[in-house]
Amino acid sequence: METLVVIGAGPKAMAVATKAHVLRELGLPAPRVVVVEAQAVGGNWLATGGWTDGRHRLGTSPEKDVGFPYRSTWARGHNRAINGAMMAYSWTSFLIDQGTYAEWVDRGRPSPQHHMWAKYLQWVATRIDLELVVGTVRSIAATADGWLLTAVDAAGIPTEIDADSLMITGPGHSEKALTKHPKVLSIAEFWDLAGKRKLPVSSRAAVIGGGETAGSALDELVGHGMLSISVISPMATIFTRGESYFENSLFSDPSTWSALSSEERREVIRRTDRGVFSVQVQETLLGDDRVHHMQGRVVRIADQGEGVALTLRNEMRPDQVHVVDLVIDATGGEPLWFLDMFDAHASDLLELAVGGRVTHARIESSIGYDLAVSGLDAKLYLPNLAALAQGPGFPNLSCLGELSDRVLRTDSVGARPAHVRNRVRAGR
Ligand SMILES: Cc1cc2nc3c(=O)[nH]c(=O)nc-3n(C[C@H](O)[C@H](O)[C@H](O)COP(=O)(O)OP(=O)(O)OC[C@H]3O[C@@H](n4cnc5c(N)ncnc54)[C@H](O)[C@@H]3O)c2cc1C
């Protein structure tokens, strides 16, 4: 049986491992799924993960769970059974199991706090008997028949894990900050200090970034007695994710995505995903007259008196200097964070596959229907980079069931393609 290794036990890993479990239970072909996780299942949704304090709420509905949208269509004669079996691992099944379903409905189906979302993912992992390796992946080597990962556990003891195919999830590190300065915090430092109620005393704060990471940080900051809070992003303003049917359907059902031009796709992503706060966060911020948006990119940070002077660059006007007492770098993850783990051979293979030096743009446009980089024989699934080529819902929680279908789908049920080998490697 082929082994698919997933780095990171977040929602994407749970979606794929659960679908593989269901396929096997139905007697259909599926790879063995092994998940390698540095912290715990759902780790990035817990206070210890560096992306949240765990108390903020999901922006999307929890019904967009590991099976959503429950619409497998590729396994002729088995689709109903697959969709039905996946329901056993849904958010509502979790609540029923915990005895809190009626209360959740009666309270108006609230979005859960992040730590509760992690609890749901952990419940799924237990129910499917997830094959989990606890360790941090440090290196990824290309081998003659797949990938070889080296992970180290908390004691620094290494384990090697063989993979026929590999899926990489998560946003990478949350420790990066624009500069090393006691008043400029990474998102990890911010959540650590906010959780301990030890944020530096400050009256003017600036949050750099316009996505979910910045949204959660702002949601927290407004409760900390600042006099002014600036949100700095290159966008003309901060948009709200409208959550209308038309927007949402593009996220849940990427089938029409390929009919859009690349300019139209970029426009949808710009308007609905980048520089966009959830309706819930936007509602809190709208009512707070301390919160303002400033357009620009921070190009310089310097001490000024007791504060920090940020130089904002904006093509349309001269540089502006904005002085604050506290800066939070909430620009989010590094999309290509995993490249540092690739050995020279794996990097060469990726370069050959994408047709040149590995850049964000080249990888994005190389992602195929199966959410893997096209042109590599040993599959490398990168759903976080699949928005432009395959649909805006793949990097987030909008269509985890569709994501698992794309990764696990076989051309004809019962005939999973023969073991994949890496053509380029075979000559070495
Ligand atoms: C604060 C915040 C709120 C968000 N809210 C929403 C929302 O409401 N709706 C939505 O659709 N999207 C939301 N997002 C986007 C969200 O990141 C993605 O939707 C989703 O988490 C991605 O899931 P994932 O499975 O890729 O990764 P994650 O859940 O991020 O999991 C990645 C895992 O990888 C592990 N890991 C990292 N490096 C290694 C390594 N080297 N070795 C082993 N394990 C490793 C981490 O410990 C982590 O557990 C939010 C993001 C943030 C930061």
Examine residue 69 and say whether the peptide bond preceding it is cis (omega within 30 degrees of 0).
yes
**Predicted local distance difference test score (pLDDT) of residue 418:** 38
Residue 280 banded pLDDT, cuts 50, 70, 90: confident
267: confidence class by pLDDT, cuts 50, 70, 90: confident
Expressed in angstroms and rounded, the spacing between residue 227 Cα and the centre of ligand 1 is 32
137 CB under 6 A from ligand 1?
yes
Atom of ligand 1 nearest to the CA of 136: 42
Q: Which residue has the higher pLDDT, 31 or 255?
A: 31
Give the per-residue pLDDT at 413: 54
Ligand 1 site, residue 12, Cβ cutoff 6 A: yes
Please, which residues have CB within 8 angstroms of residue 6's CB and are 6 or more apart in sequence? 12, 13, 16, 17, 33, 34, 35, 36, 166, 167, 168, 169
Alpha helices in 48-113 (DSSP H): 79-86, 91-98, 101-106
Considering the chain, what percentage of its residues have pLDDT values greater than 70? 94
pLDDT band at 426 (very low <50, low <70, confident <90, very high): very low
Q: Is 247 exposed, middle or buried (0-12, 13-18, 19+ CB in 10 A)?
A: middle
139 lines ligand 1 (CB under 6 A): no
Contact 404 CB / ligand 1 (< 6 Å): no
Q: Does 208 score more than 70 pLDDT?
A: yes
Higher pLDDT: 124 or 285? It is 124
Q: Tokens for 359?
A: 């850049």
pLDDT digits (tens, 9 = 90+) for 164-194: 999 999 999 888 888 888 899 999 999 999 9
pLDDT, residue 419, reads 36
Given a cut of 50, whether residue 424 has pLDDT beyond it is: no
What is the pLDDT at residue 412?
53
Best probe residue, ligand 1, of 160, 272, 397 (max atoms within 8 Å of C-beta) = 397
Q: How far is the CA of 11 from the centre of ligand 1 (A)?
A: 7
Nearest CA to ligand 1 atom 16: 396
- The closest residue, in CA terms, to atom 18 on ligand 1 is 396
pLDDT band at 303 (very low <50, low <70, confident <90, very high): very high
CB atoms inside a 10 Å sphere around CB 9:
29
| pLDDT for the residue numbered 411 | 67
Contact (Cβ atoms closer than 8 angstroms) between residue 187 and residue 221? no
- CA-CA distance, 83 to 73, in Å (whole number)? 9
pLDDT, residue 423, reads 32
Query: Does ligand 1 come within 6 angstroms of the Cβ of 210?
Result: no
Mean model confidence pLDDT for the chain: 90
- Residue 151 and residue 137 in contact, taking contact as beta carbons nearer than 8 Å: yes
* Burial class of 426 by CB neighbour count within 10 A (0 to 12, 13 to 18, 19+): exposed
pTM for this predicted structure: 0.91
Q: How confident is the model at residue 416 (pLDDT cuts 50, 70, 90)?
A: very low
CA of 10 to the centre of ligand 1 (A): 6
Residue 409 scores a pLDDT above 60:
yes
* Alpha carbon distance 129, 285 (integer Å): 41
Please check the confidence at residue 287 and state whether its pLDDT lies above 90: no
- Does 268 or 80 have the greater pLDDT score? 80
C-alpha of residue 336 to centroid of ligand 1, in Å:
14
Query: Are the CB atoms for 292 and 225 separated by under 8 Å?
Result: no
Instruction: Return the best residue to mutate from 187, 212, 278, 399 for the ligand 1 pocket (most ligand atoms within 8 A of CB).
Output: 212
Q: At residue 81, does pLDDT exceed 90?
A: yes
Residue 213 Cβ inside 6 Å of ligand 1? The answer reads yes
Crossing angle of the two packed helices 400-408 and 11-25, in degrees rounded to 10: 60
**3-class SS of residue 313:** strand
The answer to whether residue 415 scores a pLDDT higher than 80 is: no
What is the tens place of the pLDDT at every residue in 348-365? 999 999 999 999 999 999
242: confidence class by pLDDT, cuts 50, 70, 90: low
Residue 339 has pLDDT above 80, yes or no: yes
Say yes or no: CB of residue 186 within 6 Å of ligand 1: no
Lowest mean pLDDT among 36-45, 229-238, 380-389: 229-238
